[in-house]
Amino acid sequence: MDSGKHGLEGDPDLQFLLNGGKLMKVRSNSWQKNRFYKLQEDCRTMTYNSKKKFNRKRTFAIDDIESVRKGRQSEGLKKYTQDSDEDKCFSVIFKGRKKILDFMTASKEEANQWVTSLEKVISSIRNLNNKQKSEHWIINCMRKADKNKDNKMTLKELKHFLRQINVEVSDTYAAEIFKKCDTSNSGTLEGTEIKEFYDLLTHREEIKVIYESYAKTEGQMSDEDLVSFLQKEQREQASLADAHRLIEECEMDETAKQQKRMTKDGFLMYLQQEETCIFNPAHKKVYQDMTQPLNHYFISSSHNTYLMEDQLKGPSSTEAYIKALMKSCRCVELDCWDGPHGEPVIYHGHTLTSKVLFKDVIKAIKDYAFKMSEYPVILSLENHCAVDQQKIMARYLKSILGDALVTKPLGGKMPTNFPSPKELKGKFLIKGKRLNKLDVLFSNINTVEDEMVSEEDEAAECKENSQKQKPKKSKITLAKELSDVVIYCKSVHFSSFEHAQSNQAFYEMSSFKESKALMLAETSATAFIHHNMDKLSRIYPSGSRTDSSNYNPVPMWNVGCQIVALNFQTPSKEMHINQGRFRPNGFCGYILKPEFQRSLSSQFNPNTVSNRPEMKIFHVMVITAQQLPKINKEKEKSIVDPLVKVEIYGVPADNACKETQYINNNGFNPMWNERFEFTIQVPELAIVRFLVEDYDAASANDFIGMYCLPLTSVQNGYRHIPLLTKRGDIIPSAGLFVHLMLLDAQ
């Protein structure tokens, strides 16, 4: 029974990585060095030798890899290698801010071998399923893992073995429990100590209590006991067939299986399955109607997409576009300026942010737009270029995006409203200025050549910030070629809702600075909702947010704004809420707005709701947490004092936050058993965030982990909640255990 091979024993690709090989690491034109890379025996860590005196062995964890990219797909490789080396190159992209590793191999075959092998090991680690097996099986496995048959297990053997049975445990906790069980201080566990180690590790008092209250058949759960648990506690329409399926999947004790019963271990296994998570599995795929007009959806949108960090001096990068698109962002922003050698560039004007070529950004967008979602991507152009380079921009858009670029209305006749996300699958829409109305496409008088238009609102504001006195509404000359690729998203200035209603076509959309949008949402909410029933609105952060911080998107969604653009590069509460809002519906970047934001007869006003028939009571019991990560890695002794906050974001009447007491020095299995109740007026717009913090009496609490999702995607009953980092990556082995009930108030 080998270490952590995740079911890949004897696999040639795994063997290739374990043997290791030479790779040319590429950092610049002058820095390209050969290094020997290999996978360690734990199958979870790569090491390589460095020439630095003090730092011979460098490592990185397979878990930290976000993806492996074949070819010259990173900025570094494009810059520092030749076109002819395309097939020999690959990059390793990490989660968070860790730098990309760029490699070149001796041959195409070798590059393919590295990419295939790395991808296989990454996916086998990700797919470790939660089938922790029952205790008899576990004891047998332990015997097998005891290679030299001395009936003793070292900590190293135990950790390997735990990975094998997929009991996820952090090294710190494994070591602490090992110490507790090693009563003979021999550095190994023998006989009963091994059994005790397993019991301590998997003991969940709260689950034992739940199990025993339903285990009515000789101390075990019969299939009927399980059905009664599923119906009463989990509020599921469960049948005996469902119970049999769960026993088949989760129970490892053969005798119990034959008697159609579930042991306590099987029950723990059931509670850790994917489908028993808080997030309703039916919402994991695209489940909403995708045939409604585009403006009936909330659209995941990013601001200053080219930035990796802040707006004053951060690097601009095609990588930032790839990261946003891989998070299913469906509207990205391009700030276009005249560049040298006739090549338009993208960067944050009048600042020290680095520049990136327009054509490189369009290529990256083309390559990554539809990897996570097949639904349309909107390119929001903020155009500061002179006519010559605008023409070049139009040429690149057409030549690079090809047929995927929408250059005329679908169906070949004058449209009266938007096509649907379904009709626009795999398509790009350009948002920008247009010289005339769409009708001219269907008449013979389309003679307009380049001419002056007023500048995009956000572009004008960008100038205002860099000049002391406010200029008059600035104008730019617009190239006909660039104007012609704007079909469904023509930018116009917003005067008032009345003006828009009588003068604007459905495809003419406005952008609002956050402060303006918030003011309108507070003073004219119903008018704003009606405006968004047939038009699109885009909201962007105010220019004063030089640190690229974010505003709260919820008030904008409450009035039906579709394109609420946030700085995706900034990990923040607002981004957690955005991630939560778009988690359901296959994480495709489109969420259908509630009926009352789409139906013309609706007089809904988010600021004045009370006693709606849809009103709900949300009962939350925070029971326990498991294996919370240590915050302070430097202080070996520091243990967290965790508390949990339950926050609701929605219409003003629903916004609320309640928190548990903190628990001293326990990150392994803190128990709260605290109950909260929330009255929710508009569940269709409410988002819940669970936040775990490390209590600190002297300063602000430290962030430990969070999870966020719409209230309508929450499952009732006893549920596990995974925990994510500030950047939204999963924290392995950590979680919350809660009991939830979302009930009709009436």
DSSP element (H, E) containing 534? helix 525-534
Closest to 705 measured CA to CA, from 670, 740, 677, 673: 670
Q: Where are the alpha helices (DSSP H) in 411-470?
A: 457-466
Burial degree of 725 (CB within 10 A; 0-12, 13-18, 19+): middle
Residue 310 falls in which region: left (phi positive, over 0), alpha (psi -120 to 50) or beta: beta
Residue 96's identity, in one-letter code, is G
**Is 375 annotated as contributing to ligand binding?**
no
- 3-state secondary structure at position 388: helix
CA distance 431 to 294: 14
Nearest residue to 511 (alpha-carbon basis) of 478, 579, 547, 462: 462
Pairwise CA distance, residues 524 & 497, whole Å: 9
Beta bridge partner(s), residue 195? none
Active site residue 531: no
Residue 133 annotated as lining a ligand binding site: no
Options 6, 160, 283, 303, the catalytic residue:
303
Residue 84 marked ligand-binding: no
Q: Could you give the C-alpha distances from 84 to 72, 79, 104, 670, in angstroms and in order?
A: 10, 13, 12, 57
Q: Is 367 known as a binding-site position?
A: no
- Cα–Cα dist 449/483, whole Å: 10
| Residue 46 labelled as part of a binding site | yes
The reply, when asked if residue 335 is annotated as ligand binding, is: yes
Active-site residue flag, 348? yes
Residue by residue, DSSP assigns 78-102 as HHHS-GGGGGGEEEEEESTTPPPEE
Length of the chain as a residue count? 746
Show the tokens assigned to 565: 């653009």
> Is 446 labeled as ligand-binding?
no
Say whether 55 counts as a known binding-site residue: no
Task: Residue 709: name the closest of 734, 740, 679, 731 by CA.
Answer: 740
How crowded is residue 71: how many other Cβ atoms within 10 Å of its Cβ? 17
Q: What is the DSSP string of 109-157?
A: HHHHHHHHHHHHHHHHHHT--S-PPPHHHHHHHHHHH-TT-SSEE-HHH
SS3 428: strand
Q: Number of H helices and number of E strands within the chain?
A: 22, 32
Reduce the DSSP state of residue 234 to 3 states and report it: coil
CA angle centred on 649, ends 648 and 655, rounded to 5°: 75
35 is in an annotated binding site: yes
User: Looking at 6, 160, 348, 576, which residue is catalytic?
Assistant: 348
Residue numbers annotated as active site: 303, 348
Annotated binding site for substrate: 25-52, 431, 433, 511, 538
Annotated binding site: 25-52, 304, 333, 335, 382, 431, 433, 511, 538, 639, 641, 665, 694-696
Annotated binding site for Ca(2+): 304, 333, 335, 382, 639, 641, 665, 694-696
